[in-house]
Structure 1
């Protein structure tokens, strides 16, 4: 029984001196993050495919139970829209190979304009992917959430490929007007996504966006605590990523989410204690 939790990144300036030592060389930051959380979103790969050497360093900084959900490059998903993308896709798959089993899923995030009429393109794309990876798809076109036939069509394609549907829950964030600069920025940039809590595979993945106010974030994830506990009881292995507009408390919030689920599922093992951000002293 395993629940993976994590954040949208493994380093942030505001975490230095709090969740990890400061100063800390960049090549050691993932190791310290991995003592707080056991999963991370691989968002940087959306903008540029890293070298194999860089990815190998990620594997070296994390234990065998750590998990990456790595996003396909925008060249594949947004610019070529899954068509004629063989070359950049092969380069990406080669680059992430050093992660081995740490690659929990390869994440196909599709643009908001990718709608129900494009599902056959997605089906062809998924059929051609190598079977040695798991895949997860995030859609943002409103019809997939408002139209039952569109949702059913997408679910059928994903199920046939053994792929998961990643929900990005922004309902708690958009429930109240923004109150900080970070929230106002996110208000303009983040998608207003309807709630979806249905899992298609044994490895559901959730992206949850809360508020800069910790109490609001915790209030908004209550349904996910219940849903995640239910998945664990069904024998699934969920992964939950906790976001806030400023992400200042994200590692601690991810651990808190894990603890709240553990209250409902006592058989879930606790996360290990994190590496101290400062040296331990006698006094």
Structure 2
């Protein structure tokens, strides 16, 4: 079976993509056009509200069999109830996304920065009760989980034991360079400034990479991911790579750049279908 690196963005529609290859024919939905090139997407909307059944059916119809949705657990579960007494909310979330079946990638739980080592027992019980019907990712933001101390070791042991993928958010390039543009200043306020400790605790490592507004300035941080993904593929893992920029206007080109580099390093790897250079040249005319 060919190597597969699922490659995607944090959204499938953006107003600044109207003149890009992702715009395409108006006969197709934004999701359908997106899925013609990318193999996965971050489903961040479920953090705020669950879609109705008709919407989920439409998402299914608009994507090919090989596409994977990575939905975020609702904030009601992670931030408000803090993983406690949330059985009904969990059931509603699972019932909502389950009709997508094999198109589900990772369901990922993003914990707030206030969720620290003292809550590890609560996290352990929560993770061990999750149904094995789905695959999961976990993103933490408390500083203790990045300090290379007992808290981080305990967290990693828990994830290794349960096979849950530690979701890594690589924000180094964003914070490394000075910025004055509004989009970057806003991102600097909202994105976590945490160290990057690269580890694969499950079969499907999930990486969220954010570059500066001029994504070419982030290449020194992007390049090592090509080698790491190739290593994971050698180990039989199936990575999920998501690419951000401060306003996401250039995130498709950032993802394309990574996919091109990975294809050079690992010919035949699947997970991204590029668009012709002629479309990029046409875009530059507008």
Where on the TM-score scale, by shorter chain, does this alignment land: which range? Answer: over 0.9
- Work out whether residues 4 and 271 of structure 2, in 8 Å CA contact, stay in contact via their aligned partners in 1: no
Compute the displacement of 1:6 (Å).
0.6
- For residues 51-93 of structure 1, the C-alpha deviation after alignment (integer angstroms, 9 at most, x for no partner) is 1221121111111111111100000000000000111111111
User: Measured at CA, do residues 34 and 274 of structure 1 come closer, stay the same or move farther in structure 2, by a change above 3 Å?
Assistant: farther
Secondary structure of 1:172 counterpart: helix
The residue aligned with 1:16 is 18
Secondary structure of 1:111 counterpart: coil
Does residue 74 of structure 2 align to residue 73 of structure 1? yes
- Work out whether residues 212 and 246 of structure 2, in 8 Å CA contact, stay in contact via their aligned partners in 1: yes
The residue aligned with 2:91 is 90
Aligned pairs, how many? 278
Does residue 83 of structure 2 align to residue 114 of structure 1? no
Secondary structure of 1:221 counterpart: helix
1:185-224 matches, cutoff 5 A? 185-224=186-225
Output the CA distance in 2 between the equivalents of 1:270 and 1:259.
Answer: 11
The residue aligned with 1:249 is 250
Does residue 36 of structure 2 align to residue 35 of structure 1? yes
Structure 2: give runs of 5+ residues left out of the alignment: none
1:109-258 matches, cutoff 5 A? 109-258=110-259
Secondary structure of 1:90 counterpart: helix
Secondary structure of 1:69 counterpart: strand
Compute the displacement of 1:179 (Å).
3.2
- Work out whether residues 72 and 92 of structure 1, in 8 Å CA contact, stay in contact via their aligned partners in 2: yes
- Work out whether residues 120 and 155 of structure 2, in 8 Å CA contact, stay in contact via their aligned partners in 1: yes
Q: TM-score, normalised by structure 1?
A: 0.92
Q: TM-score, normalised by structure 2?
A: 0.91
Output the CA distance in 1 between the equivalents of 2:206 and 2:20.
Answer: 27
The residue aligned with 1:51 is 52
Compute the displacement of 1:207 (Å).
0.5
Q: More displaced, 14-23 or 36-45?
A: 14-23
The residue aligned with 2:6 is 4
User: Measured at CA, do residues 191 and 123 of structure 1 come closer, stay the same or move farther in structure 2, by a change above 3 Å?
Assistant: same
The residue aligned with 1:272 is 273
Structure 1: give runs of 5+ residues left out of the alignment: none
- Work out whether residues 208 and 242 of structure 2, in 8 Å CA contact, stay in contact via their aligned partners in 1: yes
Secondary structure of 1:151 counterpart: helix
Q: CA RMSD in A?
A: 2.1
